[in-house]
């Protein structure tokens, strides 16, 4: 091969070698930048991390990360320098955000870029590169004093890096979010476990109190059966009264602690009419002693319903009737059950003094009692209605109150019905009837 052609070949090889070395250097730069992004551990420095990662790849005096909303409005998300306006709108920005990089030899020719340029009249080179660190469009804007410093090829190369870097940042943010979520979940689990432990302890302590209390009450009963002086008998009666009251309070605490520990929603497969009747019967004697009447009215469609959480329903109903008997003082307590519109409602209405709206709103807070101004003292810790509300919530239902001063109170438990529950209940009832016919 003649010398001239050998020299020509050599020059060609040198050019290719130099270009390959430049590409390798560029790849190294990109990898280093990516490494810097992916090792960033401070979310507050994410903008700084982005700009630092680009510094090895392109020279700039100022840089901005803009994000575009659906209306095409670009807002500055990160920047090395504060822009003069918060947001701008221009189709060129939208075009870049959609993936087409651009370089402007003098950004001053484009008025939409003025807010990002330094003051003065000297030419300023601008390069715009697609960059979306989160879902949605965005772009990076590099600004450098001088004319025509950026080339379209350069913008295209940075676009490729920008896409990878943005994906890296997104992945990083997702990892951080997942870590935060895991941490919160762990915290929540610890808090829940502590709450359950606390409730169990409360229940256990209450339970342990009940045994000696029963001993006290039994001893008092034995004493009462003996012929003792009258003043002793009065003392014994006081012991019995106080002991009974303490026993009731301890029982309330055990119930509340059980519900808080999610232990109070046992299965119960009895029809609603049976539950309502049984609970109403428990209170008839006490009501009668107070000169009160308990009436029940059960919609035929509700009567045969067998709802999940039957024991919880029974407990709620017990609380509501107990409340009505306790607070109404006299008159009628009406228990009503209806099923319609995909829900079942249990209402307990009394003819007592009723409550103001403020008081009605407060009675579902634990340890809040009824009207403190009432003349007749009412026993209890103020846990009944909060417990009822919690049990109702656990069943996917709710407790409502309808009352006004002097007009009695009507408190209802509303429970969602599974699809077809009324029909199934009717069929079951019919089958039972046939079976026993």
Partner 1 sequence: MFAIATAHSLESEPEIAARQAADGLRARLGRAPDFVVAFATEHLARPGFAAALSEALPGAAVFGGTSCRGVLTEQGFHTGPDGAAALLGICDEEGDYGVGAASLDGDPAAAAAAALSAALEQAGRPFESPSLIMVIQPPGEEEAILEGLTRIAGPHCPVLGGSSADEALAGNWRQFAGGAVLQDHVVVAALFHSVETGRAFQSGYVPTEMTGCVTECEGRTIGRIDGRPAAEVFAEWSGGAVRADAPGVILPEATWTPLGRRVEERSAYDEFILSHPSEITADGALRVFSDIAVGDRLVAMAGDRDSLVGRGARVASDAMEIAGLAPDSAAGALMIFCGGCMMAVQDRVPEVGGQLSGALGGKPFLCAFTFGEQGALVSRQNRHGNLMVAAAVFGADNA
- The single residue listed with the structure tokens 């221009």 is 90
Least distance between partner 1 and beta carbon 99 (Å)? 8
**Between residues 97 and 254, which has the closer beta carbon with respect to partner 1?**
97
Least distance between partner 1 and beta carbon 189 (Å)? 49
Query: Would you give the distance in Å from CA 156 to the centre of its chain?
Result: 45
Q: How far is CA 53 from CA 32, 49, 158, in A?
A: 8, 6, 11
Closest of 416, 264, 238, 247 to residue 340, by C-alpha: 416
Which of the 8 DSSP states describes residue 118? P
Least distance between partner 1 and beta carbon 144 (Å)? 12
Least distance between partner 1 and beta carbon 181 (Å)? 37
Least distance between partner 1 and beta carbon 34 (Å)? 19
Q: Note whether 153 binds partner 1 by CB under 8 A.
A: yes
Q: Note whether 109 binds partner 1 by CB under 8 A.
A: yes
Q: Token pair of 132, please?
A: 């979306």
For partner 1, which residue of 38, 94, 110, 209 counts as binding (CB under 8 A)? 110
Q: Note whether 156 binds partner 1 by CB under 8 A.
A: yes
Q: Note whether 377 binds partner 1 by CB under 8 A.
A: no
Number of residues that bind partner 1 (CB under 8 A): 38
Q: How far apart are CA 298 and CA 154, in angstroms?
A: 81
**Between residues 58 and 250, which has the closer beta carbon with respect to partner 1?**
58
Q: How far apart are CA 37 and CA 39, in angstroms?
A: 6
Residue numbers 8-37 binding partner 1 by CB under 8 A: 8, 10-12, 14-20, 23
For partner 1, which residue of 37, 102, 165, 319 counts as binding (CB under 8 A)? 102
Residue numbers 288-307 binding partner 1 by CB under 8 A: none
Q: Note whether 160 binds partner 1 by CB under 8 A.
A: yes
- Report the helix count and the strand count for the chain, using DSSP H and E: 11, 11
Q: Token pair of 434, please?
A: 């046939």
**Between residues 159 and 315, which has the closer beta carbon with respect to partner 1?**
159
For partner 1, which residue of 29, 72, 105, 115 counts as binding (CB under 8 A)? 105
CB environment 265-304: b (16+ within 10 A), e (fewer) = beebeebbbebbbebbebbeeebeeeebebeeebbebbbb
Residue numbers 119-148 binding partner 1 by CB under 8 A: 125, 147-148
For partner 1, which residue of 32, 89, 151, 214 counts as binding (CB under 8 A)? 151
**Between residues 7 and 81, which has the closer beta carbon with respect to partner 1?**
7
Strands (E), 34-117: 62-68, 73-79, 87-89, 102-104
Helix axes 310-328, 384-394, angle to 10 degrees: 150
Q: Note whether 61 binds partner 1 by CB under 8 A.
A: no
**Between residues 102 and 320, which has the closer beta carbon with respect to partner 1?**
102
The strand pair at 137-145 and 124-130 is best described as antiparallel
Q: Token pair of 15, please?
A: 């050019």
The strand pair at 331-340 and 292-298 is best described as parallel
Q: Taking contact as CB under 8 A, which single stretch among the options 101-109, 249-257, 279-287, 410-418 is the one that binds partner 1?
A: 101-109
Reported as half-sphere exposure (CB side, CA atoms, 13 A), residue 100 has a value of: 5
Q: Note whether 117 binds partner 1 by CB under 8 A.
A: no
**Between residues 128 and 421, which has the closer beta carbon with respect to partner 1?**
128
**Between residues 137 and 264, which has the closer beta carbon with respect to partner 1?**
137
Query: CB neighbours of 280 closer than 8 A, spacing ≥ 6?
Result: 294, 296, 321, 335
Rg of the chain, C-alpha, whole Å: 39
Q: Note whether 161 binds partner 1 by CB under 8 A.
A: no
Cβ contact 143:126 at 8 Å: yes
For partner 1, which residue of 51, 60, 116, 150 counts as binding (CB under 8 A)? 150
Q: Which residues bind partner 1 (CB under 8 A)?
A: 2-5, 7-8, 10-12, 14-20, 23, 92, 100, 102-107, 109-110, 125, 147-153, 156, 159-160
């Amino acid at each position: 091969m003649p010398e001239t052609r050998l020299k020509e070949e050599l020059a060609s090889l040198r050019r290719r070698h130099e270009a390959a070395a430049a590409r390798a250097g560029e790849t190294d730069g990109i990898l280093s930048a990516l490494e810097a992004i992916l090792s960033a551990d401070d979310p507050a420095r994410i903008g700084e991390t982005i700009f630092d990662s680009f510094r090895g790849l392109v020279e700039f005096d100022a840089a901005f990360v803009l994000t575009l909303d659906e209306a095409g409005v670009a807002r500055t998300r990160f920047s090395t320098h504060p822009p003069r306006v918060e947001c701008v709108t221009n189709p060129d920005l939208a075009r870049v955000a959609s993936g087409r990089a651009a370089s402007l030899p003098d950004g001053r020719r484009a008025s939409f870029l003025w807010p990002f340029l330094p003051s003065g009249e000297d030419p300023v080179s601008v390069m715009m590169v697609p960059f979306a660190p989160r879902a949605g469009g965005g772009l990076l804007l590099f600004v450098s004093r001088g004319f025509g410093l950026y080339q379209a090829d350069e913008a295209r190369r940075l676009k490729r890096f920008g896409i990878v870097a943005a994906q890296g940042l997104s992945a990083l943010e997702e990892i951080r979010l997942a870590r935060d979520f895991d941490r919160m979940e762990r915290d929540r689990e610890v808090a829940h476990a502590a709450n359950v432990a606390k409730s169990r302890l409360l229940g256990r302590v209450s339970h342990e109190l009940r045994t000696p209390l029963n001993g006290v009450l039994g001893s008092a009963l034995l004493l009462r059966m003996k012929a003792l002086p009258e003043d002793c008998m009065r003392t014994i009666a006081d012991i019995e009264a106080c002991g009974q009251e303490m026993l009731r309070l301890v029982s309330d605490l055990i119930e509340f602690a059980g519900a808080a520990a999610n232990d109070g929603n046992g299965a119960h497969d009895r029809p609603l009419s049976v539950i309502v009747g049984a609970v109403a019967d428990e209170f008839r004697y006490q009501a009668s002693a107070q000169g009160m009447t308990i009436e029940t009215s059960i919609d035929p469609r509700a009567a045969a319903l067998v709802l999940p959480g039957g024991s919880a329903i029974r407990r709620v109903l017990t609380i509501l009737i107990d409340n009505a008997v306790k607070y109404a003082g006299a008159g009628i307590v009406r228990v009503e059950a209806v099923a319609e519109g995909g829900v079942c409602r249990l209402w307990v209405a009394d003819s007592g003094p009723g409550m103001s709206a403020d008081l009605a709103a407060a009675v579902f807070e634990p340890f809040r009692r009824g009207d403190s101004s009432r003349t007749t003292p009412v026993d209890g810790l103020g846990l009944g209605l909060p417990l009822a509300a919690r049990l109702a919530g656990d069943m996917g239902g709710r407790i409502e109150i309808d009352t006004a001063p002097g007009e009695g109170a009507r408190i209802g438990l509303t429970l969602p019905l599974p699809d077809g529950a009324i029909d199934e209940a009717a069929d079951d009832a019919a089958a039972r009837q046939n079976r026993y016919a």
